[in-house]
Amino acid sequence: MSKAWEIEGFLAEAKGRLHVNGASASELAERFGTPLFVFSEARIRGNIADIKRSAEAIDCPLKVCYAAKANSTMAILRAVRSARCDIEVNSGGELWKALKAGFTGDQIIFNGTSKETWEIEDAINAGIYAIQVDSLYELSLIEETARRLEKCASVSLRLVPEIESGTYSGLQTALLTSKFGMMPDEAYAAFAKYKDSPYVDLCGIHLHIGSQNPDANVYITAFLALFESMVRIHHDAGVKIRHVNLGGGFPVDYLSSASPNPNISEEQQQILGAHFDPTEALKNAWNAVKEAAYSSDATELLDGLTILLEPGRSIIADAGICLTTVRNVKQRPLSNSVLPNSDSALGSWLLTDAGFNILLSMETYKWYYHLVSASRCGEPHETPYKVAGPLCDGGDVYFDIEGEGRLPEHRLLPKNVQPGEVLALLNCGAYTLSQASQYNGRFLPAVVMVRENGEAELIRKRDDFDDLTRNEIFR
């Protein structure tokens, strides 16, 4: 019987041990050390293919742009490009990496709230598909820069239409309280002002409702809001939009559990365990917009329209795991909320070598990454442990210390876990490496890619001591 966390063709138990595309996780940990991130090239390509299949559900072109902020490791960017996926960047640095990874200008869109002049220059010179404009001031800066370069910049305007979704407040990006985008009326006025500019090509509009949204219907609301804006822009400025960008935010099931987890609140389970088919979500949104266009006699606005998506989490999150070694074990009294199967007044604490310096969301959002024993994943995971990382920081733990129910009070693993045992945190390919730091003077981890032929390839070496001071100036 398969485990709830197993993913066919990717994560599996074999002879009691965790395997990634046929490669033993324990052997990878022994060969490359821990903490170690392991990614599956086949899973990345499969996730992209799943999203690109959404094109079959609509009768207009679809452009899928991987959100590089989720993970911009160069080998991963090259794997994304080889899967014939385009890319979304959020800085001049990510733009540089995308170009270095082989993406061409027409494959790149550029988001961000605080673009510097040099970043805008690089984007214009690269001839990218669209700069997503966040404010009227930024639009004027782009026009000024393009004029100086004697080139034309393709831009789309990011709107903030006040659409609420069911995810965490910090992940909602279509509300007036978020820092992103411009008011719709500002965008309408901008189209009228710049429509004849030889230096700015206003070709699209954009919104992003946020990440890990549990309700697919919010994409219907978002697309209808964009269509209403298309109608208004055409009426006020006589401009026909060529593309609309629905953003990303498609959820990943982080719980990896077939049954509800009694240690996580119901609200948390709805968010962390969310999962829906992007193809079905896009199909329903497109059909709703077509119906609205027909009702308002504006179907011509959909002719020649291209839809853009910006998935990041849904492409890379479940394609990566983090292997960590238990370095220390100690006993502490259990709290009053001892799990039913515990028969001792003392509980074990496991101290690992993977902390929130490489799993930052576990601290900032109390994000849940499912934990299994890589070396004994075939055994029952029924013994409660307090699991924590190596940092000199009281918040560096894998469990709930605030009583908020965002994380479980304990993690369940096999009996008698001892130092040296390798554990695996699942579904942690997104927003981990890209946010990692050298806090506490800890080395950034090595990263391995398991290729489609089952060969494990080192794609990022582990830091050494020189990396800790590489850019410092000292005598």
Per-domain residue ranges of the chain: 11-40+317-464, 111-311
Which of 105-114, 177-186, 229-238, 434-443 has the weakest average pLDDT?
Answer: 177-186
Q: State the burial class of residue 330 (Cβ atoms within 10 Å of its Cβ: 0-12, 13-18, 19+).
A: exposed
The DSSP secondary structure of 418-445, one letter per residue, reads -TT-EEEE-S--SSSGGG---GGGPPPP
Per residue in 110-128, pLDDT tens?
A: 999 999 999 999 999 999 9
What pLDDT, on the 0 to 100 scale, is given for residue 441? 96
What pLDDT, on the 0 to 100 scale, is given for residue 401? 79
Q: How far apart are CA 224 and CA 454, in angstroms?
A: 44
Confidence of residue 9 (pLDDT cuts 50, 70, 90): confident
Neighbouring residues of 414: CB distance < 8 A, sequence distance ≥ 6: 373, 376, 379, 380, 381, 382, 383
Whether the predicted pLDDT of 40 surpasses 60: yes
Looking at the DSSP assignment, which residues form a beta bridge with residue 20? Answer: 11, 23
Contact 216, 280 (CB under 8 A): yes
Which of 239-253, 262-276, 427-441 has the weakest average pLDDT?
Answer: 262-276
- Do the bridges between strand 411-413 and strand 383-388 make them parallel or antiparallel, or are there none, so unpaired? antiparallel
Looking at the DSSP assignment, which residues form a beta bridge with residue 12? Answer: 19
What pLDDT, on the 0 to 100 scale, is given for residue 184? 84
What pLDDT, on the 0 to 100 scale, is given for residue 203? 95
Neighbouring residues of 235: CB distance < 8 A, sequence distance ≥ 6: none
Omega of the bond prior to 161 within 30 degrees of 0, cis? no
- Do the bridges between strand 36-40 and strand 23-24 make them parallel or antiparallel, or are there none, so unpaired? unpaired
**What CATH architecture does domain 111-311 belong to?**
Alpha-Beta Barrel (3.20)
Q: Which residue has the higher pLDDT, 281 or 146?
A: 146
Which of 28-37, 79-88, 283-292, 327-336 has the weakest average pLDDT?
Answer: 327-336
Whether the predicted pLDDT of 385 surpasses 90: yes
What pLDDT, on the 0 to 100 scale, is given for residue 182? 87
Q: How far apart are CA 387 and CA 362, in angstroms?
A: 12
Q: Provide mean pLDDT across the span 105-110.
A: 98
Percentage of the chain modeled with pLDDT above 90: 72
Whether 11-40+317-464 shares its CATH topology with 111-311 is answered no
The verdict on pTM exceeding 0.85 is yes
Spacing of C-alpha 53 from chain mean position: 19
Q: Is 33 left (phi over 0), alpha (psi -120 to 50) or beta?
A: left
Which of 94-98, 221-225, 314-318, 427-431 has the weakest average pLDDT?
Answer: 221-225
Confidence of residue 171 (pLDDT cuts 50, 70, 90): very low
Which of 5-9, 85-89, 437-441 has the weakest average pLDDT?
Answer: 5-9
3-state helix, strand, coil in the chain (%, to 5): 35, 20, 45
Beta strands in 139-296 (DSSP E): 153-158, 200-206, 243-245
Q: How far apart are CA 354 and CA 428, in angstroms?
A: 12
Cα distances (angstroms) measured from residue 59 to each of 62, 226, 294, 361: 9, 17, 15, 38
What pLDDT, on the 0 to 100 scale, is given for residue 238? 93
Contact 80, 315 (CB under 8 A): yes
Q: Which residue has the higher pLDDT, 308 or 163?
A: 308
Cα distances (angstroms) measured from residue 121 to each of 137, 151, 259: 16, 10, 52
Q: How far apart are CA 22 and CA 141, in angstroms?
A: 51
What pLDDT, on the 0 to 100 scale, is given for residue 475? 76
What pLDDT, on the 0 to 100 scale, is given for residue 78? 98
Q: How far apart are CA 186 and CA 26, in angstroms?
A: 55
Confidence of residue 18 (pLDDT cuts 50, 70, 90): very high
Token pair belonging to 310: 């910006």
Give me the CATH topology for the region 11-40+317-464. Answer: Lyase, Ornithine Decarboxylase; Chain A, domain 1 (2.40.37)
* 6-19 CB burial, b ≥16 within 10 A, e <16: bbeebbbbeeebbb
Q: Provide mean pLDDT across the span 422-450.
A: 96
Token pair belonging to 45: 């390509």
Q: Which of 225-234, 333-342, 436-445 has the highest mean pLDDT?
A: 436-445
Provide the greatest CA pair distance for the chain.
Answer: 76
Q: Provide mean pLDDT across the span 61-83.
A: 97
Neighbouring residues of 357: CB distance < 8 A, sequence distance ≥ 6: 389, 391, 436, 437, 438, 439, 440, 442
Mean pLDDT of the chain: 90
The DSSP secondary structure of 387-406, one letter per residue, reads EE-SSSSTT-BSS-SSSSSS
Q: Provide mean pLDDT across the span 334-353.
A: 69
Looking at the DSSP assignment, which residues form a beta bridge with residue 6? Answer: none
Whether the predicted pLDDT of 347 surpasses 50: yes
